[in-house]
Amino acid sequence: MNITEFIENFASQFDDTEPDAFASDTKFKQLDEWSSLTALSIIAMIDDEYNVIIKGNDILNSETIEDLYKIVEKQQ
């Protein structure tokens, strides 16, 4: 896995936020569109794409997309 692809997969869970709004240091929970359903989609995407099952707390404890990427990378 690599961070660029992870950011793309991350961004595709959003409908109204422009793709270029996403970078490794994006504080994703501060995005207007962020919701509990987005969180569920991110968890499901990570299971789907990376075969890693993260928990809601992993999202809670991540500030940036890179924080989350590191959690997934560690479990792969």
22: helix, strand or coil? coil
Are 1 and 73 in contact, with CB atoms under 8 Å apart? Answer: yes
Residue 25 or 57: which CB sits closer to another protein? Answer: 57
Are 66 and 3 in contact, with CB atoms under 8 Å apart? Answer: yes
Q: Is 36 in the site for another protein (CB under 8 A)?
A: yes
- The one among 8, 27, 29, 44 contacting another protein by CB under 8 A: 44
Are 41 and 13 in contact, with CB atoms under 8 Å apart? Answer: yes
Q: Is 29 in the site for another protein (CB under 8 A)?
A: no
Applying CB under 8 A, which residues contact another protein?
36-37, 40-41, 43-45, 47-48, 55-57, 60
